[in-house]
Chain A
Protein backbone atom coordinates (compact mmCIF):
# COMPACT_ATOMS: atom_id res chain seq x y z
CA UNK A 1 0.00 0.00 0.00
CA UNK A 2 1.20 3.50 -0.82
CA UNK A 3 0.03 6.96 0.05
CA UNK A 4 0.17 9.37 -2.87
CA UNK A 5 -0.79 12.98 -3.51
CA UNK A 6 -2.03 14.36 -6.82
CA UNK A 7 0.52 16.89 -8.02
CA UNK A 8 -1.17 17.97 -11.23
CA UNK A 9 -3.39 16.85 -14.07
CA UNK A 10 -1.60 16.38 -17.36
CA UNK A 11 -4.61 15.73 -19.57
CA UNK A 12 -8.33 15.96 -19.05
CA UNK A 13 -11.56 16.04 -20.98
CA UNK A 14 -14.62 16.35 -18.80
CA UNK A 15 -12.74 14.28 -16.23
CA UNK A 16 -9.02 13.97 -15.42
CA UNK A 17 -7.49 11.42 -17.81
CA UNK A 18 -3.79 11.45 -16.93
CA UNK A 19 -2.42 12.63 -13.60
CA UNK A 20 0.94 13.08 -11.98
CA UNK A 21 1.19 12.05 -8.34
CA UNK A 22 4.02 11.92 -5.86
CA UNK A 23 4.83 9.93 -2.78
CA UNK A 24 6.13 11.31 0.51
CA UNK A 25 9.70 10.51 -0.46
CA UNK A 26 9.32 12.53 -3.66
CA UNK A 27 8.96 9.68 -6.16
CA UNK A 28 6.72 10.60 -9.10
CA UNK A 29 3.90 8.38 -10.40
CA UNK A 30 2.14 8.66 -13.74
CA UNK A 31 -1.55 7.88 -13.32
CA UNK A 32 -4.14 6.82 -15.87
CA UNK A 33 -7.90 7.07 -15.26
CA UNK A 34 -9.44 3.89 -16.67
CA UNK A 35 -13.04 3.85 -15.32
CA UNK A 36 -15.46 5.05 -12.68
CA UNK A 37 -15.02 3.63 -9.18
CA UNK A 38 -17.36 3.43 -6.22
CA UNK A 39 -16.20 6.65 -4.61
CA UNK A 40 -14.17 8.39 -7.33
CA UNK A 41 -12.31 7.63 -10.57
CA UNK A 42 -10.21 4.47 -10.77
CA UNK A 43 -6.59 5.26 -11.59
CA UNK A 44 -3.51 3.10 -11.86
CA UNK A 45 -0.12 4.61 -11.24
CA UNK A 46 3.31 3.67 -12.52
CA UNK A 47 6.47 5.06 -10.96
CA UNK A 48 8.30 7.30 -13.41
CA UNK A 49 11.81 8.70 -13.26
CA UNK A 50 12.30 12.44 -13.67
CA UNK A 51 14.30 11.98 -16.87
CA UNK A 52 11.42 9.98 -18.36
CA UNK A 53 8.91 12.55 -17.17
CA UNK A 54 10.88 15.21 -19.02
CA UNK A 55 10.75 13.04 -22.14
CA UNK A 56 6.98 12.65 -21.69
CA UNK A 57 6.54 16.41 -21.30
CA UNK A 58 8.59 17.09 -24.42
CA UNK A 59 6.51 14.48 -26.33
CA UNK A 60 9.51 12.23 -26.98
CA UNK A 61 7.72 9.27 -25.43
CA UNK A 62 4.01 8.55 -25.14
CA UNK A 63 1.95 7.45 -22.13
CA UNK A 64 1.72 3.85 -23.37
CA UNK A 65 5.52 3.55 -23.51
CA UNK A 66 5.95 5.20 -20.10
CA UNK A 67 3.60 2.81 -18.32
CA UNK A 68 4.66 -0.36 -20.11
CA UNK A 69 8.28 -0.34 -21.31
CA UNK A 70 9.53 2.01 -18.61
CA UNK A 71 7.50 0.50 -15.80
CA UNK A 72 9.28 -1.14 -12.89
CA UNK A 73 7.90 -2.71 -9.72
CA UNK A 74 4.18 -2.83 -9.03
CA UNK A 75 1.33 -0.76 -10.38
CA UNK A 76 -0.46 1.22 -7.68
CA UNK A 77 -4.26 1.20 -8.02
CA UNK A 78 -6.48 3.68 -6.23
CA UNK A 79 -9.63 5.77 -6.40
CA UNK A 80 -9.17 9.52 -6.60
CA UNK A 81 -10.96 12.53 -8.11
CA UNK A 82 -7.77 14.05 -9.41
CA UNK A 83 -7.78 17.38 -7.59
CA UNK A 84 -4.26 18.78 -7.08
CA UNK A 85 -3.23 18.21 -3.47
CA UNK A 86 -5.71 15.35 -2.99
CA UNK A 87 -4.23 12.52 -0.92
CA UNK A 88 -5.24 8.90 -1.47
CA UNK A 89 -4.16 5.37 -0.71
CA UNK A 90 -3.30 2.74 -3.29
CA UNK A 91 -2.81 -1.01 -3.43
CA UNK A 92 0.02 -2.63 -5.35
CA UNK A 93 -0.70 -5.01 -8.23
CA UNK A 94 1.72 -6.72 -10.55
CA UNK A 95 -0.69 -6.61 -13.52
CA UNK A 96 -2.88 -3.89 -14.95
CA UNK A 97 -6.67 -4.31 -15.11
CA UNK A 98 -7.96 -5.64 -18.46
CA UNK A 99 -8.47 -3.12 -21.28
CA UNK A 100 -6.95 -0.34 -19.24
CA UNK A 101 -4.00 0.56 -21.45
CA UNK A 102 -4.08 3.74 -23.52
CA UNK A 103 -3.52 3.40 -27.25
CA UNK A 104 0.02 3.98 -28.51
CA UNK A 105 0.60 7.52 -29.72
CA UNK A 106 -0.88 9.25 -26.69
CA UNK A 107 1.56 12.13 -26.61
CA UNK A 108 0.57 14.78 -24.09
CA UNK A 109 0.98 18.30 -25.45
CA UNK A 110 1.27 21.52 -23.53
CA UNK A 111 3.65 20.61 -20.71
CA UNK A 112 7.07 21.08 -22.29
CA UNK A 113 8.99 24.00 -20.80
CA UNK A 114 9.11 26.70 -23.43
CA UNK A 115 12.39 28.16 -24.55
CA UNK A 116 12.38 31.92 -24.49
CA UNK A 117 14.90 32.11 -27.30
CA UNK A 118 13.65 29.57 -29.82
CA UNK A 119 12.22 30.52 -33.20
CA UNK A 120 10.99 28.75 -36.29
CA UNK A 121 13.74 28.61 -38.91
CA UNK A 122 13.39 27.13 -42.36
CA UNK A 123 15.78 25.48 -44.80
CA UNK A 124 14.48 25.26 -48.35
CA UNK A 125 15.35 21.96 -50.02
CA UNK A 126 15.47 20.94 -53.64
CA UNK A 127 16.84 18.24 -55.93
CA UNK A 128 16.94 14.57 -55.06
CA UNK A 129 17.51 13.69 -51.41
CA UNK A 130 18.39 10.19 -50.34
CA UNK A 131 17.73 8.79 -46.88
CA UNK A 132 21.41 9.18 -46.12
CA UNK A 133 21.11 12.90 -46.93
CA UNK A 134 18.49 13.35 -44.24
CA UNK A 135 20.70 11.59 -41.70
CA UNK A 136 23.84 13.44 -42.73
CA UNK A 137 22.17 16.84 -42.95
CA UNK A 138 20.50 16.36 -39.55
CA UNK A 139 23.80 15.31 -37.96
CA UNK A 140 25.55 18.37 -39.40
CA UNK A 141 22.81 20.71 -38.17
CA UNK A 142 22.86 19.09 -34.74
CA UNK A 143 26.65 19.29 -34.39
CA UNK A 144 26.84 22.89 -35.59
CA UNK A 145 23.91 23.82 -33.37
CA UNK A 146 25.54 22.21 -30.33
CA UNK A 147 28.80 24.03 -30.83
CA UNK A 148 27.08 27.31 -31.66
CA UNK A 149 25.01 26.96 -28.52
CA UNK A 150 28.11 26.39 -26.40
CA UNK A 151 29.88 29.34 -28.01
CA UNK A 152 26.99 31.71 -27.41
CA UNK A 153 26.72 30.49 -23.83
CA UNK A 154 23.00 30.62 -24.54
CA UNK A 155 22.03 28.41 -21.64
CA UNK A 156 21.64 28.57 -17.88
CA UNK A 157 24.50 28.25 -15.40
CA UNK A 158 24.10 24.54 -14.66
CA UNK A 159 24.13 23.50 -18.31
CA UNK A 160 26.94 25.93 -19.10
CA UNK A 161 29.12 24.28 -16.45
CA UNK A 162 28.40 20.84 -17.89
CA UNK A 163 29.12 22.00 -21.42
CA UNK A 164 32.35 23.69 -20.39
CA UNK A 165 33.50 20.54 -18.62
CA UNK A 166 33.16 18.63 -21.90
CA UNK A 167 35.76 20.83 -23.54
CA UNK A 168 38.20 19.82 -20.79
CA UNK A 169 37.21 16.16 -20.75
CA UNK A 170 38.04 15.19 -24.32
CA UNK A 171 41.69 14.54 -25.13
CA UNK A 172 41.35 15.66 -28.77
CA UNK A 173 43.49 12.94 -30.26
CA UNK A 174 41.31 12.89 -33.36
CA UNK A 175 38.69 10.46 -34.71
CA UNK A 176 36.13 9.63 -32.05
CA UNK A 177 37.19 12.55 -29.86
CA UNK A 178 35.26 15.01 -31.99
CA UNK A 179 32.32 12.68 -32.74
CA UNK A 180 31.74 12.01 -29.05
CA UNK A 181 32.42 15.61 -28.14
CA UNK A 182 29.63 16.91 -30.39
CA UNK A 183 27.23 14.19 -29.25
CA UNK A 184 27.82 15.01 -25.61
CA UNK A 185 27.58 18.73 -26.27
CA UNK A 186 24.11 18.18 -27.67
CA UNK A 187 23.02 15.97 -24.80
CA UNK A 188 23.85 18.76 -22.38
CA UNK A 189 21.62 21.32 -24.05
CA UNK A 190 18.41 21.66 -22.01
CA UNK A 191 15.45 19.91 -23.67
CA UNK A 192 13.56 23.10 -24.34
CA UNK A 193 16.52 24.62 -26.15
CA UNK A 194 17.34 21.66 -28.40
CA UNK A 195 16.80 21.98 -32.12
CA UNK A 196 13.62 20.20 -33.16
CA UNK A 197 12.11 19.48 -36.56
CA UNK A 198 8.54 20.77 -36.79
CA UNK A 199 7.76 19.99 -40.43
CA UNK A 200 9.34 18.30 -43.43
CA UNK A 201 7.86 18.88 -46.86
CA UNK A 202 9.64 16.89 -49.53
CA UNK A 203 8.91 18.51 -52.86
CA UNK A 204 10.76 20.49 -55.50
CA UNK A 205 11.13 22.93 -53.83
CA UNK A 206 10.34 21.65 -50.34
CA UNK A 207 11.34 22.73 -46.89
CA UNK A 208 12.45 21.60 -43.46
CA UNK A 209 11.08 23.71 -40.63
CA UNK A 210 13.11 23.75 -37.41
CA UNK A 211 12.36 25.12 -33.97
CA UNK A 212 15.66 26.25 -32.53
CA UNK A 213 17.56 29.02 -30.79
CA UNK A 214 17.31 31.93 -33.21
CA UNK A 215 20.70 33.44 -32.39
CA UNK A 216 22.50 30.12 -32.88
CA UNK A 217 20.66 29.50 -36.17
CA UNK A 218 21.54 32.99 -37.40
CA UNK A 219 25.22 32.50 -36.55
CA UNK A 220 25.34 29.17 -38.42
CA UNK A 221 23.63 30.77 -41.40
CA UNK A 222 26.22 33.57 -41.52
CA UNK A 223 29.17 31.19 -41.18
CA UNK A 224 27.85 28.81 -43.86
CA UNK A 225 27.15 31.66 -46.26
CA UNK A 226 30.62 33.06 -45.53
CA UNK A 227 32.26 29.73 -46.39
CA UNK A 228 30.45 29.69 -49.75
CA UNK A 229 31.56 33.19 -50.74
CA UNK A 230 33.93 33.34 -53.74
CA UNK A 231 36.90 34.66 -51.83
CA UNK A 232 36.24 32.95 -48.54
CA UNK A 233 39.49 32.70 -46.55
CA UNK A 234 38.08 29.80 -44.52
CA UNK A 235 39.15 26.96 -46.81
CA UNK A 236 42.78 28.15 -47.02
CA UNK A 237 42.89 28.75 -43.28
CA UNK A 238 41.59 25.25 -42.59
CA UNK A 239 44.17 23.73 -44.92
CA UNK A 240 46.99 25.77 -43.36
CA UNK A 241 46.09 24.80 -39.80
CA UNK A 242 45.52 21.16 -40.73
CA UNK A 243 48.84 20.85 -42.56
CA UNK A 244 50.63 22.60 -39.69
CA UNK A 245 49.38 20.05 -37.18
CA UNK A 246 49.93 17.18 -39.60
CA UNK A 247 53.56 18.14 -40.31
CA UNK A 248 54.29 18.21 -36.60
CA UNK A 249 52.52 14.89 -36.05
CA UNK A 250 50.09 16.53 -33.62
CA UNK A 251 46.79 15.61 -35.28
CA UNK A 252 46.45 12.42 -33.25
CA UNK A 253 48.09 13.72 -30.10
CA UNK A 254 46.81 15.77 -27.20
CA UNK A 255 48.75 18.33 -25.17
CA UNK A 256 49.29 15.59 -22.56
CA UNK A 257 51.27 13.59 -25.15
CA UNK A 258 53.49 16.48 -26.17
CA UNK A 259 55.70 18.74 -24.11
CA UNK A 260 54.66 22.00 -25.76
CA UNK A 261 57.29 24.69 -25.47
CA UNK A 262 56.34 28.30 -24.85
CA UNK A 263 57.15 28.98 -28.52
CA UNK A 264 54.81 26.15 -29.56
CA UNK A 265 52.04 27.60 -27.42
CA UNK A 266 52.63 31.05 -28.84
CA UNK A 267 52.57 29.75 -32.43
CA UNK A 268 49.45 27.68 -31.80
CA UNK A 269 47.66 30.60 -30.16
CA UNK A 270 48.50 32.79 -33.15
CA UNK A 271 47.29 30.06 -35.50
CA UNK A 272 44.07 29.74 -33.49
CA UNK A 273 43.39 33.47 -33.79
CA UNK A 274 44.14 33.44 -37.53
CA UNK A 275 41.94 30.41 -38.10
CA UNK A 276 39.06 31.80 -36.05
CA UNK A 277 39.28 35.08 -37.96
CA UNK A 278 39.15 33.29 -41.29
CA UNK A 279 36.16 31.22 -40.15
CA UNK A 280 34.26 34.30 -38.99
CA UNK A 281 34.80 33.40 -35.35
CA UNK A 282 37.32 36.11 -34.49
CA UNK A 283 35.26 37.28 -31.52
CA UNK A 284 35.10 33.75 -30.16
CA UNK A 285 38.82 32.81 -30.25
CA UNK A 286 39.42 33.80 -26.65
CA UNK A 287 36.25 32.06 -25.50
CA UNK A 288 37.23 28.85 -27.31
CA UNK A 289 40.70 28.99 -25.72
CA UNK A 290 39.05 29.42 -22.29
CA UNK A 291 36.75 26.48 -22.96
CA UNK A 292 39.81 24.39 -23.86
CA UNK A 293 41.42 25.29 -20.50
CA UNK A 294 43.95 27.53 -22.22
CA UNK A 295 45.29 24.67 -24.36
CA UNK A 296 45.65 26.12 -27.90
CA UNK A 297 46.24 22.67 -29.47
CA UNK A 298 42.83 21.41 -28.32
CA UNK A 299 41.26 24.75 -29.19
CA UNK A 300 42.48 24.56 -32.80
CA UNK A 301 41.30 20.98 -33.14
CA UNK A 302 37.86 21.98 -31.84
CA UNK A 303 37.66 24.81 -34.34
CA UNK A 304 38.78 22.56 -37.22
CA UNK A 305 36.17 19.96 -36.25
CA UNK A 306 33.51 22.68 -36.18
CA UNK A 307 34.65 23.97 -39.55
CA UNK A 308 34.37 20.49 -41.12
CA UNK A 309 30.74 20.38 -40.05
CA UNK A 310 30.01 23.90 -41.27
CA UNK A 311 31.69 22.95 -44.56
CA UNK A 312 29.35 19.97 -44.79
CA UNK A 313 26.34 22.27 -44.49
CA UNK A 314 27.93 24.73 -46.90
CA UNK A 315 28.26 21.92 -49.47
CA UNK A 316 24.52 21.24 -49.24
CA UNK A 317 23.91 24.94 -49.94
CA UNK A 318 26.50 25.06 -52.74
CA UNK A 319 24.91 22.13 -54.55
CA UNK A 320 21.45 23.71 -54.24
CA UNK A 321 20.03 20.81 -52.26
CA UNK A 322 19.65 23.19 -49.32
CA UNK A 323 18.85 26.84 -49.97
CA UNK A 324 18.41 29.99 -47.92
CA UNK A 325 19.51 28.06 -44.86
CA UNK A 326 17.79 28.91 -41.53
CA UNK A 327 15.76 31.81 -42.83
CA UNK A 328 12.86 33.09 -40.72
CA UNK A 329 9.59 31.23 -41.13
Chain B
Protein backbone atom coordinates (compact mmCIF):
# COMPACT_ATOMS: atom_id res chain seq x y z
CA UNK B 1 0.00 0.00 0.00
CA UNK B 2 1.23 3.47 -0.79
CA UNK B 3 0.03 6.88 0.33
CA UNK B 4 0.68 9.65 -2.18
CA UNK B 5 -1.08 12.92 -2.96
CA UNK B 6 -3.58 12.14 -0.24
CA UNK B 7 -4.63 8.79 -1.76
CA UNK B 8 -3.80 5.18 -1.05
CA UNK B 9 -2.63 3.15 -4.03
CA UNK B 10 -2.74 -0.53 -4.82
CA UNK B 11 1.04 -0.87 -5.10
CA UNK B 12 3.83 0.85 -3.19
CA UNK B 13 4.95 3.97 -5.05
CA UNK B 14 8.13 6.06 -4.80
CA UNK B 15 8.01 9.70 -3.63
CA UNK B 16 6.24 12.15 -5.99
CA UNK B 17 4.50 9.28 -7.70
CA UNK B 18 2.11 9.49 -9.46
CA UNK B 19 3.26 12.82 -10.88
CA UNK B 20 1.09 15.80 -10.02
CA UNK B 21 1.00 16.99 -13.62
CA UNK B 22 -0.83 14.23 -15.47
CA UNK B 23 -2.53 14.17 -18.84
CA UNK B 24 -5.94 12.55 -18.31
CA UNK B 25 -6.93 10.52 -21.40
CA UNK B 26 -10.12 11.42 -23.24
CA UNK B 27 -10.96 7.79 -24.06
CA UNK B 28 -13.77 6.29 -21.99
CA UNK B 29 -12.19 2.85 -22.09
CA UNK B 30 -8.63 1.58 -22.36
CA UNK B 31 -7.14 -1.86 -22.98
CA UNK B 32 -4.87 -4.20 -21.02
CA UNK B 33 -3.13 -7.09 -22.75
CA UNK B 34 -3.83 -10.68 -21.65
CA UNK B 35 -2.27 -14.05 -22.36
CA UNK B 36 -5.63 -15.83 -22.30
CA UNK B 37 -9.31 -15.22 -22.89
CA UNK B 38 -9.97 -14.75 -19.19
CA UNK B 39 -8.16 -12.50 -16.73
CA UNK B 40 -6.85 -12.87 -13.19
CA UNK B 41 -5.52 -10.39 -10.65
CA UNK B 42 -1.95 -11.07 -11.84
CA UNK B 43 -2.78 -9.64 -15.25
CA UNK B 44 -2.99 -6.19 -13.65
CA UNK B 45 0.30 -6.29 -11.80
CA UNK B 46 2.85 -3.61 -12.63
CA UNK B 47 6.21 -4.54 -14.15
CA UNK B 48 7.89 -3.92 -10.82
CA UNK B 49 5.59 -6.34 -9.01
CA UNK B 50 6.11 -9.00 -11.65
CA UNK B 51 9.90 -8.64 -11.93
CA UNK B 52 11.08 -7.18 -8.65
CA UNK B 53 14.82 -7.01 -9.37
CA UNK B 54 14.70 -5.56 -12.89
CA UNK B 55 16.27 -2.20 -13.67
CA UNK B 56 13.86 0.38 -15.12
CA UNK B 57 14.58 3.95 -16.17
CA UNK B 58 11.61 5.35 -14.23
CA UNK B 59 10.48 3.66 -11.04
CA UNK B 60 7.15 5.47 -10.97
CA UNK B 61 6.26 4.25 -14.49
CA UNK B 62 7.50 0.76 -13.63
CA UNK B 63 4.88 0.68 -10.87
CA UNK B 64 2.01 1.74 -13.11
CA UNK B 65 -0.36 -0.48 -15.03
CA UNK B 66 0.28 -0.05 -18.74
CA UNK B 67 -2.80 0.40 -20.95
CA UNK B 68 -3.39 1.04 -24.64
CA UNK B 69 -5.88 3.55 -26.01
CA UNK B 70 -7.24 1.29 -28.75
CA UNK B 71 -7.40 -2.29 -29.92
CA UNK B 72 -5.39 -1.24 -32.99
CA UNK B 73 -2.57 -0.17 -30.67
CA UNK B 74 -2.82 -3.52 -28.82
CA UNK B 75 -2.58 -5.41 -32.11
CA UNK B 76 0.50 -3.38 -33.06
CA UNK B 77 2.20 -3.86 -29.70
CA UNK B 78 1.90 -7.65 -29.66
CA UNK B 79 3.68 -7.80 -33.03
CA UNK B 80 6.86 -6.21 -31.68
CA UNK B 81 9.78 -8.63 -31.26
CA UNK B 82 9.83 -8.07 -27.46
CA UNK B 83 6.13 -8.68 -27.09
CA UNK B 84 5.96 -11.72 -29.39
CA UNK B 85 7.92 -13.58 -26.70
CA UNK B 86 5.29 -12.65 -24.09
CA UNK B 87 2.54 -14.40 -26.08
CA UNK B 88 -0.28 -11.93 -25.55
CA UNK B 89 -3.43 -13.05 -27.35
CA UNK B 90 -6.29 -10.97 -25.94
CA UNK B 91 -7.05 -7.54 -24.50
CA UNK B 92 -9.52 -6.55 -21.82
CA UNK B 93 -11.40 -3.28 -21.55
CA UNK B 94 -10.79 -1.04 -18.52
CA UNK B 95 -13.06 1.95 -17.86
CA UNK B 96 -11.08 5.17 -17.64
CA UNK B 97 -12.63 6.85 -14.61
CA UNK B 98 -10.89 9.32 -12.31
CA UNK B 99 -12.51 7.57 -9.32
CA UNK B 100 -10.43 4.47 -10.08
CA UNK B 101 -6.98 5.94 -9.81
CA UNK B 102 -4.55 8.35 -11.45
CA UNK B 103 -4.23 8.16 -15.23
CA UNK B 104 -1.52 9.64 -17.39
CA UNK B 105 -1.49 9.51 -21.19
CA UNK B 106 2.17 9.80 -22.17
CA UNK B 107 1.72 8.98 -25.87
CA UNK B 108 -1.19 9.01 -28.31
CA UNK B 109 -1.63 5.25 -27.93
CA UNK B 110 -0.47 4.61 -24.34
CA UNK B 111 -1.65 5.37 -20.80
CA UNK B 112 -0.12 4.71 -17.37
CA UNK B 113 -2.59 3.88 -14.59
CA UNK B 114 -1.95 3.90 -10.83
CA UNK B 115 -5.07 2.25 -9.33
CA UNK B 116 -6.34 3.31 -5.92
CA UNK B 117 -6.17 0.79 -3.12
CA UNK B 118 -9.96 0.41 -3.15
CA UNK B 119 -9.93 -0.79 -6.76
CA UNK B 120 -10.09 -4.45 -7.74
CA UNK B 121 -9.09 -4.43 -11.42
CA UNK B 122 -10.69 -7.79 -12.17
CA UNK B 123 -14.06 -6.52 -10.97
CA UNK B 124 -14.05 -3.41 -13.15
CA UNK B 125 -12.62 -5.11 -16.25
CA UNK B 126 -15.04 -5.25 -19.17
CA UNK B 127 -15.22 -7.28 -22.35
CA UNK B 128 -12.30 -9.31 -23.65
CA UNK B 129 -11.31 -9.12 -27.32
CA UNK B 130 -9.30 -11.65 -29.31
CA UNK B 131 -6.36 -9.81 -30.87
CA UNK B 132 -6.24 -12.26 -33.76
CA UNK B 133 -9.96 -12.05 -34.41
What is A's interface to B at a CB cutoff of 8 Å? 8-15, 17-18, 32-36, 40, 63-64, 81-83, 99-111
Contacts of B54-70 to chain A: CB distance below 8 A: 54, 56-57, 66, 68-70
Let me know if A11 and B57 touch, CB within 8 A: no
Please name all residues of chain A whose beta carbon is closer than 8 Å to the beta carbon of B81 when the two chains form the complex.
32-35, 99-102
Question: Inside 8 A of A10's CB, which chain B residues have their CB?
Answer: 107
A contact residues around B56 at 8 Å (CB): 15
Most chain B beta-carbon contacts within 10 A, residue among A13, A33, A83, A106: A13
What CA separation (Å) do A272 and B120 show in the bound complex? 71
A-contacting 9-mer, from B3-11, B36-44, B71-79, B94-102: B71-79
Q: Check A111–B68 contact: CB distance below 8 A.
A: no
Q: Could you tell me if B107 and A9 are in contact, using CB atoms closer than 8 angstroms? A: yes
Q: Residue A12 contacts which of B70, B75, B84, B107 (CB distance < 8 angstroms)? A: B107
Interchain CA distance A179-B128 in the complex, whole Å? 48
**For the complex, what is the distance from the CA of A11 to the CA of B76, rounded to whole Å?**
8
Say what secondary structure dominates the interface of chain B.
mixed
B2 within 8 A of A: no
Contact B75 A11 (CB under 8 A): no
Tell me if A109 and B109 are in contact (CB < 8 A): yes
A83 & B76 in contact (Cβ 8 Å cutoff) = no
Interface status of B16 (Cβ within 8 A of chain A): no
Q: Which residues of B contact A100 (CB under 8 A)?
A: 81
Check B79 against A35 for contact (C-beta < 8 Å): no
Offer 16 A-B interface pairs, CB within 8 angstroms, sorted by A.
A8-B107, A10-B107, A12-B107, A12-B110, A13-B33, A13-B83, A32-B81, A33-B82, A83-B57, A99-B81, A102-B79, A102-B80, A108-B73, A109-B76, A110-B73, A110-B109
Q: Is the CB of A107 within 8 A of B57?
A: no
Count how many pairs of residues, one from A and one from B, have CB atoms less than 8 Å apart in the complex: 82
Chain A residues in 8 Å Cβ range of B70: 109-110
Q: Which residue of A lies closest to B67 (CB)?
A: A13
Q: Which residue in A11, A14, A64, A104 is a CB contact (below 8 Å) of B73?
A: A11
Whether B47 is near chain A, meaning CB under 8 Å from some CB there, is: yes
Assuming A13-B33, A108-B109, is B82 touching A35 (CB within 8 A)? yes
A105: which B residues are within 8 A, CB to CB?
Answer: 75, 79
A18's contact among B69, B80, B106, by CB below 8 Å, is which?
B80
The residue on A at minimum CB distance from B56 is A15
Cβ-defined contact, A81 with B69, below 8 A:
no
B133 within 8 Å of A (CB atoms): no
Q: How far is it, in angstroms, between the C-alpha of A83 and the C-alpha of B56 when the chains are bound?
A: 12
Docked CA distance A1–B82 (Å):
24
B79 cross-chain contacts in A, Cβ below 8 A: 63-64, 102-106
Q: How far is the CB of B11 from chain A (nearest CB, A)?
A: 14
> Inside 8 A of A110's CB, which chain B residues have their CB?
69-70, 73, 107-109
Taking a contact as CB atoms under 8 Å apart, the answer to whether B107 and A15 are in contact is no
Instruction: Output the least CB separation between A62 and chain B (Å).
Output: 8
A106-B80 CB under 8 A given contacts A11-B73, A11-B109: yes
B83 proximity list for chain A (CB < 8 A): 13, 17
Do A34 and B82 touch across chains, with their CB atoms under 8 A apart?
Answer: yes
